[in-house]
Amino acid sequence: MNRRELLLSAAALTLPATVARATEGRPADKGKLRILILGGTGFIGPHFLREAQARGHTVTLFNRGKRQETPTPGVETLIGDRDGQLEALKGRDWDVVIDNSGYVPRHVRLTTQLLRERVRHYLFISTISVYADLSVPGVDEDAPLKKLTDPTVEKVDGETYGGLKALCEAVVLGDFAGRSTIVRPTYIVGPGDHTDRFTYWPWRVSQGGTMLAPGTAPDPIQYIDVRDLARFVIGCVEAPTPGIFNACSPPGFATMGGLLETSRRVSGANTEFRWVDEATLRAEGLLDGPELPIWSPPSGESAGFALVSPARAVGAGLRFTPLEDTVRATLEWHRSRPAEQRDKLKAGLSREAEAALLAKLRS
């Protein structure tokens, strides 16, 4: 039996006796779960919390308490650190863990070891950055994963992020064999996305004038609306659904041109798009930084980056909000942010840099 078959086999779902004991005595509230979210604040956590609560589940959050958000009334929040400060979790049991703060395998092992006999199912939020090769379209969950030259490294950066997440996955799959779900999202976007990567485009379009558009209009882009991700994740723990799932919009669902046109329609702006080809962008040093987020050249090593297959997740219930709804919700949220966040985005070209580049290209 290969790893995938093992994960999906019904036999592997049999719970150890200690797990069965840990969940004995819970209220006879059929179908309602006690969910622990490792993380639970920040971007995606609040969406998971809202979705779980809407479906009647009880949620506990665990994080360092570094975010400024107002605690949600009625939600238990445990304070600790994945790096060894787990006292608040000791002696407790839940039906399900959703781990959205695991970046380092040692940290993940600390919680899987602590909770493996106190929790029935473990869902880990990973990333499509685990894939070794995204130069080909249609990458699915069985594709080879990145391997770090030094698997003991704990510094999380652009170089190590994907390889570390692959190692985190392996920890979860080992300690929760047959009762774990690995979800591999691409760019997660929508209300609350503090990276500004997707938000930049609708916001820039809404500002009017002539704007730089990267590549060509038919270039594919791929993302997952955070609200679709939340529905999928909570569905996976309700079922529960062991296995590994890419979480991304289907190839062909969205293009760079579609994103900009949709943003123009939704915002009502009369913005003009000046499409700049890949070679020019490369010559200007704009392919590796945060200036042109979400879009990647549909060639070379990123030729398949925006064409990853979500087929398995679709089979397990992943559904997609129309692009127009995602753009509208993102713009509404962005307009409601404090001025300093709204006017100084973490991604995208500054208006000055954009104007200078467009002037240079005209001359």
Instruction: Please pick, from the candidates 7, 22, 44, 281, the single residue that binds ligand NAP as defined by CB under 6 A.
Output: 44
Instruction: Please pick, from the candidates 33, 34, 35, 41, the single residue that binds ligand NAP as defined by CB under 6 A.
Output: 41
Please list every residue from 59 through 118 that binds ligand NAP, using CB under 6 A.
63-67, 81-83, 100-101
Closest separation between CB of residue 283 and ligand NAP, Å? 28
| CA separation, residue 107 to residues 19, 59, 164, 230, 237 (Å) | 22, 21, 11, 23, 22
| Residue of minimal Cβ distance to ligand NAP | 42
- Please check whether residue 260 is in contact with residue 269, taking contact to mean a CB–CB distance below 8 angstroms: no
- Please check whether residue 121 is in contact with residue 99, taking contact to mean a CB–CB distance below 8 angstroms: no
Closest separation between CB of residue 148 and ligand NAP, Å? 16
Contacts of 149 (CB under 8 A, 6+ apart): none
Pick the closer one to ligand NAP by CB: 77 or 135.
77
CA distance 220 to 294: 10
Closest separation between CB of residue 125 and ligand NAP, Å? 4
- 49: which 2 tokens? 């919390």
The answer to whether residue 146 forms part of the interface with ligand NAP (CB under 6 A) is no
DSSP string for residues in 62-118: EE-S-S-PPPPTT-EEEE-BTTTB-GGGTT---SEEEE----SHHHHHHHHHHHTTT
Closest separation between CB of residue 357 and ligand NAP, Å? 26
E strands of the chain, at which residues? 34-38, 58-63, 76-79, 96-99, 121-125, 180-185, 188-189, 210-214, 224-225, 243-247, 272-276
**Taking CB under 6 A as the rule, which mask of x and - marks residues 301-320 in contact with ligand NAP?**
--------------------
Contacts of 266 (CB under 8 A, 6+ apart): 202, 324, 327, 328, 331
Instruction: Please pick, from the candidates 15, 32, 43, 177, the single residue that binds ligand NAP as defined by CB under 6 A.
Output: 43
Closest separation between CB of residue 23 and ligand NAP, Å? 24
The answer to whether residue 127 forms part of the interface with ligand NAP (CB under 6 A) is yes
Pick the closer one to ligand NAP by CB: 141 or 278.
141
Pick the closer one to ligand NAP by CB: 229 or 357.
229
Closest separation between CB of residue 231 and ligand NAP, Å? 16
Pick the closer one to ligand NAP by CB: 162 or 243.
162
Closest separation between CB of residue 243 and ligand NAP, Å? 17
Give counts: helices (H), strands (E), the chain.
13, 11
Closest separation between CB of residue 164 and ligand NAP, Å? 9
Closest separation between CB of residue 282 and ligand NAP, Å? 24
CA distance 282 to 287: 6
Provide the pairing of β-strand 96-99 with 224-225: unpaired
- 246: which 2 tokens? 């890419």
Omega before residue 218 within 30° of 0, cis: no
Task: Give Cα 85 distance to the centre of its chain.
Answer: 25
CA distance 130 to 147: 9
Pick the closer one to ligand NAP by CB: 45 or 304.
45
Closest separation between CB of residue 345 and ligand NAP, Å? 15
Side chain identity, residue 259: L
Q: Judged by CB under 6 A, how many residues of this single chain contact ligand NAP?
A: 23
The answer to whether residue 255 forms part of the interface with ligand NAP (CB under 6 A) is no
Stretch that binds ligand NAP, among 28-36, 57-65, 253-261, 336-344 (CB under 6 A): 57-65
- The candidate with the shortest Cα–Cα distance to 225, out of 252, 266, 185, is 185
Pick the closer one to ligand NAP by CB: 188 or 313.
188
- Please check whether residue 132 is in contact with residue 147, taking contact to mean a CB–CB distance below 8 angstroms: yes
Stretch that binds ligand NAP, among 6-14, 37-45, 51-59, 171-179 (CB under 6 A): 37-45
Please list every residue from 165 through 224 that binds ligand NAP, using CB under 6 A.
185, 187-188, 195
Q: Which positions lie near ligand NAP, rule CB under 6 A?
A: 39-45, 63-67, 81-83, 100-101, 125, 127, 185, 187-188, 195
